Structure 1
Amino acid sequence: MSVTLLDVSRLVDRLINRQLPTGVDRVGLEYVRHYGGRARAVLSERGFSSVLSQQNSARVFDILLQQDFAAKFAAQKLIVNAACRMLRRHNFPGGILLHTSHSGIERSRYLRTMRQRGIQPVILVHDLIPLTHAEYCRPLVDRAHQQRIHATLTYARGVITNSQATLDSLQGAARSANLPLPGSVVAHLASGVTPRPLTPRPLPEPYFVMLGTIEPRKNHWLILHVWRRLVEQLGASAPKLVVIGRRGWECENVIDMLERCQSLKGVVLEEAHCSDEQLHAYLQHAQALLFPSFVEGYGMPLAEALALKVPVLASDLDVFHEIADDIPDYLDPLDGPGWLARIQDYARPDSPERAAQSTRIERFREPTWAEHFGRVDRFLETLR
Structure 2
Amino acid sequence: MLERILFDCTTLFFHKGPPVGISRVIESYFSIWRASSFVENVVFLQEESAFYFIGSDFSLKEKVSFKENDILVNMGCAWDYVGLNDVIRKLKQSNGLKFIQLVHDVIPFKYPYYIQSEACDNYTRWFVDMLSVCDGVLTISKSTERDLRNLCASAGIDMPRSEVIRYGDGLILSVEDICQRSPPFALSVGTLEYRKNQILLVNVWRKLIQSGLEGLPELILAGKDGWMNQNIVRIISTDKTLNGKIKVVENSSDDLLGALYSSCEFTLYPSLYEGWGLPISESLCFGKICLASDTSSMIEVAPGFVVHLDPFDIDAWTQQISRLILDREYRARLQSKVEQYVPALWDKSAQLVIEKIKAIAH
Using the size of structure 1 for normalisation, the TM-score is 0.84
CA contact (8 A) 1:3 1:40 kept: no
Residue type of the partner of 1:182? P
The whole-number CA distance in structure 2 between the counterparts of 1:329 and 1:353 is 12
**Given the alignment, which residue of 345, 348, 351 partners 1:371?**
348
CA contact (8 A) 2:194 2:230 kept: no
Report deviation, 1:265: 4.1
Deviations 1:349-376 (A, max 9, x none): x523322211222332322223322322
Q: Secondary structure at the match of 1:180?
A: coil
Matches within 5 A, 1:171-320: 171-194=149-172, 197=176, 199-204=178-183, 206-234=184-212, 237-320=215-298
Distance 1:369-1:22 versus aligned 2 partners, 3 A rule: same
The whole-number CA distance in structure 2 between the counterparts of 1:307 and 1:238 is 24
CA contact (8 A) 2:204 2:314 kept: yes
The aligned residue for residue 62 of structure 1 is 57
**Given the alignment, which residue of 327, 330, 336 partners 1:353?**
330
CA contact (8 A) 1:9 1:43 kept: yes
Q: Gaps (5+ residues) in structure 1?
A: 64-74
The whole-number CA distance in structure 2 between the counterparts of 1:31 and 1:190 is 9
The aligned residue for residue 73 of structure 2 is 98
Moved more, 365-374 or 222-231: 365-374
> Quick check: 1:122 aligned with 2:100?
yes
Residue type of the partner of 1:375? L
The whole-number CA distance in structure 2 between the counterparts of 1:290 and 1:132 is 24
The whole-number CA distance in structure 2 between the counterparts of 1:110 and 1:142 is 22
Percent identical residues: 25
CA contact (8 A) 1:313 1:329 kept: yes
Q: Secondary structure at the match of 1:381?
A: helix
The whole-number CA distance in structure 1 between the counterparts of 2:350 and 2:44 is 23
CA contact (8 A) 1:185 1:375 kept: no
The whole-number CA distance in structure 2 between the counterparts of 1:136 and 1:93 is 41
Report deviation, 1:19: 1.8
Select the structure that is richer in helix. 1
Residue type of the partner of 2:333? A
Deviations 1:41-84 (A, max 9, x none): 131427x632225xxx21xx413xxxxxxxxxxx6xx4xx88xx
> Quick check: 1:52 aligned with 2:52?
yes
CA contact (8 A) 1:2 1:95 kept: yes
Deviations 1:97-150 (A, max 9, x none): 110113246743133123223221111111111111111111222222222322
Aligned length: 353
Report deviation, 1:7: 1.9
Residue type of the partner of 1:27? V
The whole-number CA distance in structure 1 between the counterparts of 2:342 and 2:295 is 19
Report deviation, 1:237: 4.7
Matches within 5 A, 1:24-43: 24-37=22-35, 38=37, 39-43=40-44
The whole-number CA distance in structure 2 between the counterparts of 1:324 and 1:376 is 19
Deviations 1:2-39 (A, max 9, x none): 2222222221211xxx3210121121113323333341
The aligned residue for residue 68 of structure 1 is none
Q: Gaps (5+ residues) in structure 2?
A: none
